[in-house]
Structure 1
Amino acid sequence: MRPTRLDPLFAPVTKLPGIGPKTAKTLTSLLVGHSEREARIADLLFHLPTSMIDRGLRPGIAGSPEGMIVTLTLHVDQHRAPPRNSRAPYKIFAHDETGSIELVFFHARRDYLESVLPIGEQRLVSGKVEWFNDRAQMVHPDYIVTEEDAASLPVIEPVYPLTAGLSGRMITKAMQMAVKVIPSLPEWQDASFMDKQGFPSFQEALLSVHHPEEASDLVAESKAVRRLAYDEYLANQLALALVRNSMRQQGGTERHGNGSLRSKILSALPFQLTDGQVEALKEISEDLEAPARMLRLLQGDVGSGKTVVGLMAMAQVIESGAQAAMMAPTDILARQHFASMEPLCKAAGIRVAVMSGKDTAKNKREINAALEAGEIDLIVGTHALFQSSVNFKNLGIAVVDEQHRFGVHQRLSLSSKGDHVEVLVMTATPIPRTLVLSYFGDMEVSRLTDKPKGRQPIKTVSVSLDRISEVVDRLRAAIHRGEKAYWVCPLVEESEKIDLAAAQERFEDLQRALGPVVSLVHGRQSADDKQQAMDDFKEGRTRLLVATTVIEVGVDVPDATIIVIEHAERFGLAQLHQLRGRVGRGSAASTCLLLYKAPLGETSAARLNILRETNDGFLIAEEDLRLRGEGELLGTRQSGMPGFRIANVEAHGDLMEVARDDAKLILAKDPALQSPRGDALRHLLYLFSRDEAVKLLRAG
């Protein structure tokens, strides 16, 4: 049960005075991002200001700088209302000892203005001053107060991120109400660590950021913001550590294979394993032989040979008498994994099948029956493999490709498909160390950093779109030489439909220029049409594949040697690197052409330069993190990815390691969180929506 002390923070925002259903709906879309639950007061309090307005400047009218926010003490002289049915503004003339000013109001109510700015009275007015023909003017002042109410005028006013339908005044007012309900909570942080860091209490930290006394209270490095960021990191790391503990407590099966299947696979491979693959297999094999469940992340750059490592891990489990499943995010990718593994499985005598959304109901029934009877050793498919209708005789390992769609909860739910199912998660997105800790702190990590022998580095060139005809001529010559190429169409932020139109148009242009050797693949095609386009390209019936970003992950055509990425400046670094990895998969030299629209912005130019300079995905990921922040790098809205609301890897990365160590230490001393600090930490887990972890405590 959630501690009752947290009830005020878990109340819906409609409990705050002045927030009706309409405003609550707008706040929910801003603070929660989906409509599955209404925004709570805690969501509002964790929405931190990004900047501030200083109303402390009081220079008098004559000394007011152009475009600056000032606070003036004015004597009201005259009201000038516009004629009836006129669109002209309502003007009020006022002065102080230094000069005179016009206050301008559009669509104004005369009775209201006469009551707040009565002629002959003095008022404090705050807003932005603009100068026209040596006359000062203030359009719609932010504040108008009497001298008696001067204390209600904020000197430092926080500025919050907004959304359509929500004004700064509305959110500031709501926040002032919200800070009043912050309850007194037990301290969950270690006292000596708090002293060393100079951290305020949780309540003081929230008050400091929502009622800043100076601009420095709002920067990411301030003690208050760092305190809240550390709270968020600790909640996350503690939740991941509890998942890991839960996995360990469930025990595991020691899976000692005899090596027979693995040696047959190795003999059938057309290449030698890299040192990185050998090292990763050693780590995985030790995990599988241990009496605890394996939970490991295999990070490999584009083309580093993760699939072979995954297959060898599955072979060890099959040798021990259990079944294996490999999951991919799309039908295309599942069928591709199947196609690349089938000859190796055949050589080793492993019974392998593929199941995807394309299969008929009859086909699915037959595969299900064979799985349940133990007549299939290895099944490849999409996440549909984990629907309740699919049953295994004895599932021993699940290999999950491209983890973005596979979060902590899914990692836990795998256990229902077999006894002590081992989990190997593979990703082709090289992830910086700080992000690995934040998203996969419950997993051991293996990294593949070297490429298979014989692969040549990809030459990367950037070319202005003005020279597109030269690029087409170059492609024509390459196609005549028997080469294959991709042409990736631009990403259009507004809509998938526009993406599609751009791809269709480019396809038609290229087909006119190069003839019937051009084919098209995009996300809106049926699975059959996509597969047909891919097969035509693979088998050489077409030579140039025009595509949207559907080819970003896992498309494997070893003899494709050129990729053209149109409007490369619109893509992120990691995405460009993924796309570039579609070529250079064979032994021939490959080229990546980045077509950009001049002139390039500073960040876009930096991005394209990094790609030209290096093929190292891990280096590129670190740069991407620096240029864009972690939100975009991994897509924090994807399931299982905790989007941090306060913590920022760039500013608070040093706290991540500390939080991980702290979480380990806490659970070593108090695994059930029953001590006074443990009880306080349960409050923390609920506050940052890590309640799944609290359920694990109760479950075991």
Structure 2
Amino acid sequence: MTAEVKSAAPGGAAPGTNELALALERRIGKRSAAVIEKHLGITTVGGLLNYFPRRYMNRGELTPISEVPLDEEVTLLARVVSSSTRTMRARKGTLTDVVVTDDAGTLKVSFFNAYRAKAELLPGRRALFSGRISRYNGALGLTNPDYQLLDEDPDLAGEDPEKLAAMPIPVYPATAKLTSWSIHNVVKTLLDTADLAALPDPLPADVAAREKFLPVADSYRLIHTPETPADWQRARDRFRYQEALVLQSALARRRAQLAAEEATARRPAADGLLAAFDRQLPFTLTAGQSAVGKTLAAELARDSPMNRLLQGEVGSGKTIVALRAMLQVVDAGGQAALLAPTEVLAAQHFESIRRTLGPLSRDGLLGGFGADAVQVTLLTGSMPTAARKQAMLDAASGTAGIVIGTHALLSDNVSFYDLGLIVVDEQHRFGVEQRDVLRSKASKPPHLLVMTATPIPRTVAMTVFGDLETSVLDELPAGRAPITTHVVGLAEHPAWATRVWTRSREEVDAGHQVYVVCPKIGSDDDGDFSPGEAGPADTDLEDSGARELASVTGVVELLRDEPALAGVPVAPLHGRQDPVLKSETMASFTANQTKLLVSTTVIEVGVDVHNATLMVILDADRFGISQLHQLRGRVGRGGLPGTCLLVTTLEPGHPSRRRLDAVAATTDGFELSQEDLKLRREGDILGASQSGGRSTLKLLRVLEHEDVIARARQDAWTVVGGDPSLGSHPALAAAIDDYLNPEKEAFLERG
């Protein structure tokens, strides 16, 4: 039975009380407040006032009974003609049949064990009915719909029919036990009892005047009880901008706080490691790499900490840019730490950086640069005890200029001599707590560079990483070959399953290598998805669990018996393997001894094998757009054209095939990131979940409201620039504290 919310006389509030923070029961009574808390988790006046309708229906455009569509949600405005209740024969309980009419047609509405409907839906009464139309015994009808009596609504009693028809109906996010109508009723009670005139306005007066926004009290009334569509639209525009300004002001305030910190300036050396490194580079930096490098060099030379986000396409050369920044810090007597999300990627960075430095690395592959060379040290959790202790000693003593590691760098017993720069690779894999642990190991706030190869739409960058300066590398270095991507639909072309392996053999016979990516490790595994990238919540799979997904262990066995691959050295790679075995497997593939690598997504980032030209992604529909884009970036890295095959058993019309088609249609990561955000329904932009689900943004949508976000961002910079502590804007400061709960605050700091 639907939970009912009863009106109650409010208790008084003490003078000066923060109305928004007031306990809800003080305004609507204990009984109603208990229902709201139980079903919506809301306990304060502000929480309920800001529980906005998710949409509005127009009574004048309600579905006529004569036109109701089968198996669709409808809302009807109708009068009860008759009502009858009988005991059911096939099951316990009663069935109440209510016949309703809108004078253009009639419809039967049925309720099971609905004592409230039996008592309330009496002949002559008018009500709104909302539910899904179904067919029973050849006739259309509604079963157990939500309904709202109109005759007993004092706000609507005696209203002119034309005015009633034009009056929008707020529809709230409801629960199975608490209908939208019930929520609306208690919100109306709150609007009558709350001291709306005492509510502070977070918007600066000049901004509110410029935008011609309604006052706060009027906006709350009109967004919950509009008489015309223009009412709720004006109120919504005000609260949407307010949300954007509060969020952008929080980011601007954090940026101001970071800028006020004192860091150690790491100025370039006239003829140090960085200069020597640039002289020995066998290629010319791209224009983008040079421009970003100059920006980083200038910011590292300041005595306030650099906080910069570097985003760039897979293979755009971010690592070289980061390495040059690290060398500048080493030249200035400091240390740099590179934090990587996996041991495979940390080891790849370690080998790649030592190889790139060559004789400039103290343990360089080509000798050494004498006492002036930089020592590069690797620190991971799986290293032998003696090696790990030595790495920790090198970091603590300052012997190691560059320390590359995984979460092991965050251990309490790891310390640094003079940590000057933190580079975080694939920043979305780390939380604020982990980054802050590393920051705390520096005597002064260190400079920070976070990198991602997952393109971020401009609006998301403004909304989530607004406290960071952003640089973009959008051109590929010379020698990068194009990647061609094809969707291999086995549902419509089952014979292509064999062709995939024949195609793999052709690459091997041409002297090249192949990646095969699987969503699972073994048959007992649920999947190897990155957070927020795939899985039933993100893929809209109706057959989740109904089909056996490809696993590394299963595919390895299959391919060893595949005639087309006879004699081809095949090896598995996944996260559960012993670290030594993983390293040996990658070394074998890098050395072109293993020709075909069957892997999970551990090869998603950082793996750099120039001879690999073909990637086969099995059950590709189980991965998100950005993950597929990252994966295919592993091929075509050595000047040879790359090919990516997205293999799926889903039917062509399945929703998850849209992602595959999008990835196959373009290699533009920023275009894909926009599409990804659309398909993922924006998700929880400010929370831990990054796909599906309900966004913690209330009225703001980062794809739709770029202009709003940009204007609010400019206003926030102006306000915070003139008043960093917001001492002259107490209402805005309070709104930030209220809006940014710990989870949101933590996410904003992840940059």
Normalised by the size of structure 1, how large is the TM-score? Answer: 0.83
Shift of 1:16: 7.1
Q: Partners of 1:456 and 1:659 in 2: how far apart?
A: 41
* TM-fit CA distance, 1:394: 0.9
The yes-or-no answer on 1:378 pairing with 2:408 is no
- Helix, strand or coil at the partner of 1:304: coil
Partner of 2:475: 450
TM-aligned CA deviation for residue 17 of structure 1: 4.5
Query: Which of 136, 140, 146 is the aligned partner of 1:142?
Result: 146
Answer with 282-291 or 55-64: which moved more. 55-64
Give the distance between the partners of 2:207 and 2:262, measured in 1 at CA.
34
Q: What is the identity, as a one-letter code, of the residue corresponding to 1:671?
A: P
Stretch moving more, 526-535 or 292-301: 526-535
State yes or no: 1:247 paired with 2:276: no
Work out the CA distance in 1 between the residues paired with 2:664 and 2:745: 47
Check 1:568–1:257 CA distance in 2 against 1; reply closer, same or farther (3 A cut): same
SS in 1 for 2:499: helix
* Alpha-carbon offset, residue 500 of structure 1: 9.1
**1:540-594 CA deviation, whole Å, 9 max, x = no partner?**
3422222333322222222111012234445433222211101111122211222
Q: SS of 1:262's equivalent?
A: helix
The answer to whether the 8 A contact 1:603-1:627 is kept is no
2:19/2:195 contact within 8 Å kept: no
Q: 1:226 to 1:552 in 2, by over 3 A?
A: farther
Q: 1:202 to 1:523 in 2, by over 3 A?
A: farther
Q: Specify whether residues 353 and 414 from structure 1 end up closer, same or farther in structure 2 by C-alpha distance, changes over 3 A only.
A: closer
Selected match of 1:256 from 267, 270, 273: 267
Residue 33 (structure 1) aligns with: none
State yes or no: 1:401 paired with 2:403. Answer: no
CA distance in 1, matches of 2:346, 2:744: 32
3-state SS of paired residue (1:326):
strand
Q: Secondary structure at the match of 1:454?
A: coil
Partner of 2:77: 71
Which whole-Å CA distance do the structure 2 matches of 1:12 and 1:537 have between them? 63
- One of 641, 645, 657 as aligned partner of 1:589: 641
Q: Which residue of 2 aligns with 1:423?
A: 448
Q: Secondary structure at the match of 1:442?
A: coil
More helix by share: 1
Does the aligned pair in 1 maintain the 2:485–2:664 contact within 8 Å?
yes
The CA deviation at 1:511 is 2.8
129, 145, 167: which one aligns with 1:127: 129
* Whole-angstrom distance in 2 between the partners of 1:571 and 1:472: 21
CA contact (8 A) 2:129 2:148 kept: no
Are 1:229 and 2:281 matched, yes or no?
Answer: no
How many angstroms apart in 2 are the aligned matches of 1:495 and 1:624? 14
Q: Does 1:437 align with 2:446?
A: no
The 10-residue stretch of structure 1 (78-87 or 377-386) with the greater mean CA deviation from structure 2: 78-87
**Quick one: distance in 1 between partners of 2:302 and 2:479?**
35
Q: Secondary structure at the match of 1:89?
A: strand
The alpha carbon displacement at 1:685 in A equals 0.7
| Unaligned runs of at least 5 residues, structure 2 | 1-14, 158-163, 361-372, 520-528, 539-543, 747-751
Q: How does 1:493-512 map to 2 (within 5 A)?
A: 493-494=535-536, 502-503=550-551, 504-512=553-561
Partner Cα distance (1:75, 1:430) in 2:
59
In structure 1, give the amino acid aligned to 2:457: P
Structure 2 counterpart of 1:200, one-letter code: L
Equivalent runs, 1:310-325 vs 2, <5 Å? 310-325=322-337
Query: Would the aligned equivalents of 2:267 and 2:332 in 1 still touch at CA under 8 Å?
Result: yes
Whether the 8 Å contact between 1:329 and 1:405 is mirrored in structure 2 is yes
Identity %: 35
Contact 1:461 1:612 survives alignment (8 Å): yes
Q: Are positions 1:576 and 2:628 aligned together?
A: yes
The C-alpha deviation readout for 1:277-320, integer Å capped at 9, x for no partner, is 11111111111122322111211110011111111101111011
Counterpart CA distance in 2 for 1:578 and 1:396 is: 30
Residues 513-552 of structure 1 deviation map (CA, whole Å, 9 limit, x = unaligned): 1356233333454545544443343333422222333322
The 5-angstrom pairing of residues 601-640 of structure 1 reads: 601=653, 607-608=659-660, 610-625=662-677, 628=680, 630-631=682-683, 637=689
- Distance (whole Å) between structure 2 residues aligned to residue 51 and residue 646 of structure 1: 11
User: Would you say the 8 A contact 1:257–1:316 is kept in 2?
Assistant: yes
Q: Deviations over 1:425-462 (max 9, x none)?
A: 11111222222222222222222122121221112233
| Counterpart for residue 713 of structure 2 | 660
What's 2:368 paired with? Answer: none
In structure 2, C-alpha distance between the alignment counterparts of 1:96 and 1:458, rounded to whole Å: 60
Which range moved further: 417-426 or 490-499? 490-499
- Judged with a 3 Å threshold, the aligned counterparts in structure 2 of structure 1 residues 585 and 661 are, in CA distance, closer, same or farther, namely same
Asked if the contact 1:104–1:139 (Cα under 8 Å) also holds between the matched residues in 2, the reply is yes
Change (3 A) 1:157 1:279: same
> Where does residue 489 of structure 1 map in the other structure?
518
AA aligned opposite 2:208: M
Distance in 2 separating the partners of 1:635 and 1:274? 36
**CA apart distance, 1:396:** 0.9
CA 1:543–1:131: 2 relative to 1, 3 Å: closer
Displacement after TM superposition at 1:634 (Å): 9.7
Given that 2:134 and 2:140 are in contact with CA atoms closer than 8 Å, whether structure 1 keeps it comes out as yes
Letter in 1 for 2:401: D
Q: 1:484 to 1:384 in 2, by over 3 A?
A: same
Relative contact order (C-alpha < 8 Å, sep 6+): which is higher? 1
Query: Which residue number corresponds to residue 369 of structure 1?
Result: 393
Give the C-alpha shift of residue 64 in structure 1.
7.9
1:634-671 per-position Cα deviation (integer Å, ceiling 9, x unaligned): 986369xx953431012211012222211221122222
When residues 133 and 182 of structure 1 are mapped into structure 2, their CA distance, relative to the original with a 3 A threshold, is farther
Partner of 1:331: 343
Instruction: For 1:592, give the aligned amino acid.
Output: C
1:651: which partner in 2? 704
Which residue in 1 is equivalent to 2:722?
669
Query: Which amino acid in 2 is paired with 1:477?
Result: E
Q: CA RMSD in A?
A: 4.1
Match of 1:34 in 2: none
* Alpha-carbon spacing, 1:82–1:687, altered in 2? closer, same or farther (3 Å): same
User: CA contact under 8 A between 1:16 and 1:177: conserved in structure 2?
Assistant: no
Q: Which moved more, 1:337-346 or 1:54-63?
A: 54-63
| Alignment correspondent of 1:289 | 301
Structure 1, gaps ≥5 residues long: 29-37, 696-700
* 1:29-44 pair list within 5 angstroms: 42=46
TM-score, scaled relative to structure 2: 0.78
Q: 1:80 to 1:253 in 2, by over 3 A?
A: closer
Q: Tell me: CA distance 1:378–1:85, structure 2 relative to 1, closer, same or farther (3 Å).
A: closer
Contact 1:45 1:175 survives alignment (8 Å): yes
Deviation at 1:341, TM superposition (A): 0.8
How far 1:255 sits from its partner (Å)? 1.6
Partner amino acid for 1:434? T
Q: CA deviation at 1:395?
A: 0.9
Cα distance, 1:176 vs structure 2: 5.2
Instruction: Say if 1:148 and 1:595 are closer, same or farther in 2 by CA, change over 3 A.
Output: closer
The separation in 2 between residues aligned to 1:566 and 1:584, in whole angstroms, is 19
More displaced stretch, 483-492 vs 277-286:
483-492
Assess if the C-alpha contact under 8 Å between 2:134 and 2:142 holds in 1.
Answer: yes
Distance in 1, Cα, partners of 2:670 & 2:337:
28
Contact 1:46–1:646, Cα closer than 8 Å, also in 2: no
Q: Secondary structure at the match of 2:400?
A: coil
* 1:480 equivalenced with 2:491 (yes/no): no
Q: Specify the code of the residue in structure 2 equivalent to 1:519.
A: A
Contact 1:569 1:600 in 2 (8 A): no
